[in-house]
Structure 1
Amino acid sequence: MMAVAVTVFVVAYILIATEKVHRLLAALGGAAVLLAIGVVGSEEAFYSHETGIDWDVIFLLLGMMIIVGVLRKTGVFEYVAIWATKRAGGSPLRVMILLVLITAVASAFLDNVTTVLLIAPVTLLVCERLGVNPVPFLIAEVLSSNIGGAATLIGDPPNIIIASRAGLSFNDFLVHMAPIIVVELIVFTLILPLLFRGSFTADPERIAGVMALNEREAIRDSRLLIKCGLVLLGVFAGFIGHSAFHIEPSIVALLGAGVLVLISGLRPRDYMASVEWETLLFFAGLFIMVGALVTTGVIADLAGLATDATGGDALVAVMLILGVSAVLSGLVDNIPYVATMSPLVQQLAAGISNPVQAQALWWSLALGADLGGNMTAVGASANVVVLGIARRAETPISFWEFTKKGSIVTVITIVIAAPYLWLRYFVWA
């Protein structure tokens, strides 16, 4: 069964990467094969928290997509698009930097999936106004969302899993992760002109036209905007305090969506048009395929080999976990990877006498998984969401177009993270 799970996953992955068939067909087809031949059953695929579809992710996305659908009717995205363009003086590069920084900061205090759902529509409108290709902007934003989300416990789903297993608090993540993420974000911002060279030429007439606009005139329904603002404040408060309230972010998003639908007075077709059904189904298929790798022991064996190779040396263990996590999180979704790797890291940390160095193993796992999620188009949930939004906007991002940029950023960010871990937990500890 292990060989079958690997074969199906590899074939589906190749089809997704080469775009020989639609990625939804590849993911659902692979999941269907695994279910049909009994590699996984309904219990593992639909009900298991460890190996099944992550319904929290699915319903978090669904709730936020509905909220975005209602919010779209207010004209606020047009407002922000014009405001950002005017503040950047119409320069596409400055617009990209501004949106990247907004995305990174927002991802730290919401989560990266929610952030890209809110920022992507603004980006599409900005690029349409300036007459530039939105693809580089969308890629830059999703890369920054994964970097910024790594800074806090709630910013990236793998961090929540790590915090639960290791007993780490919100403040622990701020103290240990935020400093290096600030450095990573500065470096990422500095390389944007090189990474997306040739993407910053805009039509001067279009720039002049945007600069002459009054962004306040873009608001079409101010009363609905106030309602959306109040609901979003409640949702964001729920996201930030979900561990204290003991309410999962998915429930917060669905409650917010439900309340907003009730008070908006809109018809279902007005807000349901923003739901990315293809993206949700793609996630379901991907979760089942990765769950099969977990069920059959493939990921556990790979992680076990990595931990066995450390030989009891804490520094070797930290660097190996960082590197292996970056690669594997880029190839499979980083959520199931971290869920599988966490018990192994816990076991390895228990065998290290120095508590500071033992905790460094958790930070290497978090950095490797969060930053490694940038490597490919399926490495993190935010990546898949943005690709779905781009496809619906008829500006599709290919697997390799994303991966070429994402792999460069992953290598750079991991190279920066390695000396940080060494210096902070082994030299200065």
Structure 2
Amino acid sequence: MSDWHSWAAIVVFVGAYALIISEKIHRVAVALGGAGLMLAIGATDDVSAFYSEDSGVDWNVIFLLMGMMMIVGVLKKTGMFEYLAIWSVKKAKAKPFRVMAMLVVITAVASALLDNVTTVLLIAPVTLLVCERLALPAAPFLIAEVFASNIGGTATLVGDPPNIIIASRAGLTFNDFLVHLAPLVAVLVVVLVALCRVMFRMSFVYDEDRAAEIMALEEREAIKDPRLLVQGLFVLVLVVAGFVLHPVLHYEPSIVALLGAGLLVAVSTADTSEVLSEVEWPTLAFFAGLFIMIGGLIDTGVIDEVSKALADVIGTNELGGSLTLLGASAVLSGVVDNIPYVATMAPITSDLVHNMGGGGGHVMWWALALGADLGGNATAIGASANVVVLGIAERNRQPITFWQFTKYGLIVTAVTVTISLGYVWLRYFALG
């Protein structure tokens, strides 16, 4: 890492990260400015930034988000989210903590079946309406759902993008993830609910009048356009089926989402310009800038040096290596997006597994998955779902600051990663 480009890239990234944390400049402006500087200093170039699969903008993420945002935009016009908001509040007897617990569990389960970004796109509008009805601050509920989405997504191959990368490199199946990670995730969701009860206790203010008003409502009256609702749900089911059948169809989630959005706009009466206005364009721009900045670190060899240093520390020590990989991955995934991190670490982990005489289901792969997925909860930009929810909150005038998210994220990450370390030791070493 003697090349000055490497040190310049580090300075740009650290400076941008500091500005995002300070919130003195809007995070979108910082990300795009940082991306511009990476290009200006030659840390990356136009080919790497826009066309490289390893170090460029992840267009699959961008277009997956855009397609799902369009579908959600159409569904919002049907009154479906109002229906779900009233239904969920009535089921929870309008008790704020019960509402949060129910939304957390639903988010975790949905994130395992879909992916965590798609889930928060669907659940966030419901949450905002629930909080408006109960006169509650939306931020604690949205933050709790982000944690649930990242934890729930850890359980399956399709739940979190890093898992797809790991499965491809290690030759793992959907059932492998269920067997090895789902039991732990079930425990972590219960732990998260308990943590939410403590962390957000000041937000659970029960308003009897508001509760009585909602309990008296008939949720079916919230549906404004039944025909559009049927069309939207039909397309959503097709999209979800496309996600689940990825191993068979071999269509990337981004293609499935765009096909679904195009089909829904084509067969419905929804106005195209109105649908496009529902897309969180600033969030997509932030992702693009962030990908280019991280690409600069990849192209200059910074991330590769960090990964190799980690590999040198691990050596052939399975227990120490697994625990180190899990902990280090959690820390690094809280700073850089976990997708490029896992893409960089996957081949190194493969070499480590080979040196230890292991195969596809080796403990090192599960350590990498747990660290990368759970570490994404640590900061506001640690995972894609975090950034998406912050964008939705800001658009709905319920802004969540970097530190407001991160002060809770560090607690959740510390607890869940500690439990995961114990799980790895117990399952793969103590019990053989």
Query: Normalising by the residue count of structure 1, what TM-score does the alignment of the two structures yield?
Result: 0.99
Per mean C-alpha deviation after superposition, the further-off stretch among 131-140 and 35-44 is: 35-44
Show CA shifts across 1:192-223 (max 9, x none): 11011201104221111111100000000111
| Superposition map of 1:255-334 within 5 A | 255-334=259-338
Q: Which stretches of structure 1, 4 residues or more, deviate above 6 A after TM superposition?
A: none
Map of 1:393 onto structure 2? 396
Out of 84, 95, 119, which is 1:80 matched to?
84
Q: Deviations over 1:366-391 (max 9, x none)?
A: 00000000000000000000000000
CA-CA distance at 1:353 after TM superposition? 2.6
Identity %: 60
The one of 393, 413, 421 aligned to 1:418: 421
Deviations 1:147-183 (A, max 9, x none): 0000000000000000001110101001001011111
Which amino acid letter does the alignment assign opposite residue 18 of structure 1?
S
Residue in structure 2 matching 1:54, options 58, 63, 82:
58
Instruction: Find out whether 1:365 has 2:368 as its counterpart.
Output: yes
Q: Please point out which of 172, 182, 187 is paired with 1:168.
A: 172
Gaps of at least 5 residues in structure 1 are: none
- Cα distance in 2 for partners of 1:419, 1:355 equals 22
Residue 354 of structure 2: aligned partner: 350
Q: Are residue 38 (structure 1) and residue 29 (structure 2) matched? A: no
User: Structure 2: 5+ residue runs without aligned partners?
Assistant: none
Do the aligned residues in 1 keep the contact of 2:13 with 2:34 (CA within 8 Å)?
yes
Contact 1:19 1:399 in 2 (8 A): yes
SS in 2 for 1:353: coil
Q: What aligned pairs does 1:99-118 form with structure 2 within 5 A after superposition?
A: 99-118=103-122
Aligned-residue RMSD, C-alpha = 1.0
Q: Check conservation: 1:90, 1:207, Cα contact below 8 A.
A: yes
8 Å Cα contact 1:5/1:292 also seen in 2: yes
1:266 positional shift: 1.4
Counting matched residue pairs gives 428
Does the CA-based 8 Å contact 1:64-1:114 persist in structure 2? Answer: yes
Q: Distance in 1 between matches of 2:276 and 2:214?
A: 30
Separation of aligned partners in 2, 1:237 and 1:157? 17
Displacement of 1:300 after TM fit? 1.1
1:224 aligns with 2:225: no
Return the match for 1:335 from 315, 333, 339.
339
- Structure 1 residues 269-278 or 119-128, which shifts more? 269-278
How do 1:396-407 residues align onto structure 2 when only pairs under 5 Å count?
Answer: 396-407=399-410
Contact 1:131–1:202 under 8 Å retained in 2: no
CA contact (8 A) 2:315 2:352 kept: no
Taking structure 2 as the reference length, what is the TM-score of the superposition? 0.98
Contact map agreement 1:111 1:154 (CA 8 A) in 2: yes
Separation in structure 1 between the aligned mates of residue 370 and residue 61 of structure 2, nearest angstrom: 21
**1:267-325 CA distances to partner (integer Å, 9 max, x unpaired)?**
12321221000000000000000111111111111111111112321111101100110
Could you tell me which of 74, 99, 106 is aligned with 1:70? 74
Pair 1:131–1:428, CA change in 2 (3 A): same
Alignment partner of 1:139 is 2:158: no
Q: Which residue, out of 378, 383, 390, partners 1:380?
A: 383
1:185 aligns with 2:189: yes
CA drift of 1:127 comes to 0.2
CA contact (8 A) 2:43 2:297 kept: no
1:8 alignment partner, one of 6, 12, 15: 12
Q: Secondary structure at the match of 2:155?
A: coil
